[in-house]
Amino acid sequence: MPSTALAGIKVLDLSRVLAAPLAGQMLADLGAEVIKVERPGAGDEAREYGPPFLADADGRPTRDAAFYFSCNRNKKSIALDLATADGQAIVRRLAAQSDVVLENFKAGSLKKYGLDYESLKAVNPRLVYCSVTGFGQTGPLAPKPGYDGVFQAMSGMMSVSGYPEEPIKVGISMVDILTSLYAANAIQAALYHRDMHGGPGQHIDMSLLDCGLASLSHFAMNYLISGEVPERRGNGGYGGVPSQAFICADKQIFLVAGNNGQFSRLCEVLGRPDLPHDPRFSETAGRIAHRSDLIEILDAIFPTRPAAEWLAALDAAGVAAGPVNDISEAVAEPQILHREMVREIDHPLGVKLKILANPIRFSETPIDGYAAPPGVGQHTDEILAALGLGDAEREDLRARRIT
């Protein structure tokens, strides 16, 4: 079962692809009932973002991509054509019974369907309505479409990622993922304000560009205070030095020696106890100022031994370090296995589906299980019946391809 932390909260999820659906999945993991509205037949376009596609019990690929499974578990799916008056009427009826509406249509585009915040607020004044768009609901770029890579570029995230000669985007859709976390936090804060302080519902305006910029955190503060644009340092960090990846005899490791004591212990492991006494390296500020000199020395030492030997010695010395893993190595890490971050759940097709578990660990309201992401419209009849639509009405909607 999902957590019971948000039990009783009802979420109407009109969103597609990644950022907003991932926020809906977080709420579902935490115990909210999340109803996902999808296009009849095709469903969320994220279902097409493959390969890879889930294979059925006979090993044949389905039409559902792994991408879709990353952000839609623990939800129910209803198929509705929002371009029809009947489809819009059903959404309004669902919104009247919901606590939250989550959508990521282009700014202003739901108004023509009568499904924008003001329209649904008239149906349900207590509604928390969260809009997730590329540029937000206001401003000169509000109508523009956009995707994660665009926002990594525009927000400055790419400018601090990569090597001096080339900015590089983060490999995963990082702005989408960060926006989903901001959105889930904002929704819960709005619900708390409504339910604990007697406030009304409200509209939450989430912008991927805003979230990308906000994620620059201390990098942005360094610029705002100094006026200096941060340089790209590849795998090097901006804290203590060394803080970066090193090539060993067989693979890379990443280590951080963030203070003088850690640096001294690192130098003992490296067989260079003299380095902390070098005036260039004796203090943190000096090591930062003479970064290139120090890294040149360390780069010559690490290739002399395999990664496992270095890591064992660094662990024994209390220096923070770890292997640079690919995904197959990461999910096989003993600590990851112990934490059960990879789970196997049943899928209605009769196959096992491996998923990444939610990393939140509650003592009193644990997330004990997961329901597989739904098929397109899998729960349409159940949801419509709960609204009071009889067999004949539901069949009529199907015949007219509204569901």
Catalytic residue positions? 176
CA 167 – CA 157 distance, rounded (Å): 9
- Return the H-helix or E-strand segment holding 187: helix 174-197
Determine the straight-line distance between the first and last CA of the chain, rounded to whole angstroms. Answer: 28
Q: What is the DSSP letter of 318?
A: T
CA 69 – CA 64 distance, rounded (Å): 8
| Residue 45 CB neighbours (<10 A) | 14
- Longest pairwise C-alpha distance within the chain: 85
Displacement of CA 23 from its chain's centroid (Å): 8
Dihedral in degrees, nearest 10, Cα atoms 227, 228, 234, 239: -70
CA angle 396, 402, 403 (to 5 degrees): 85
Q: Give the ranges where 97-173 is alpha helix by DSSP (H).
A: 117-123, 148-155
> DSSP letter string over 55-92?
E-TTS-EEEEEHHHHTS-TTEEEEE--TTSHHHHHHHH
Query: For the purposes of burial, counting CB atoms within 10 Å of the CB of 366, is it exposed (0-12), middle (13-18) or buried (19 or more)?
Result: middle
CA 103 – CA 101 distance, rounded (Å): 7
Q: What 3-state class would DSSP assign to 183?
A: helix
Could you tell me which of 151, 142, 137, 130 has the C-alpha nearest to residue 208?
151
Say if residues 156 and 144 touch (Cβ distance below 8 Å).
no
Say if residues 83 and 98 touch (Cβ distance below 8 Å).
no
HSE-CB at 234 with a 13 A cutoff on CA atoms is 11
Q: What is the DSSP letter of 17?
A: S
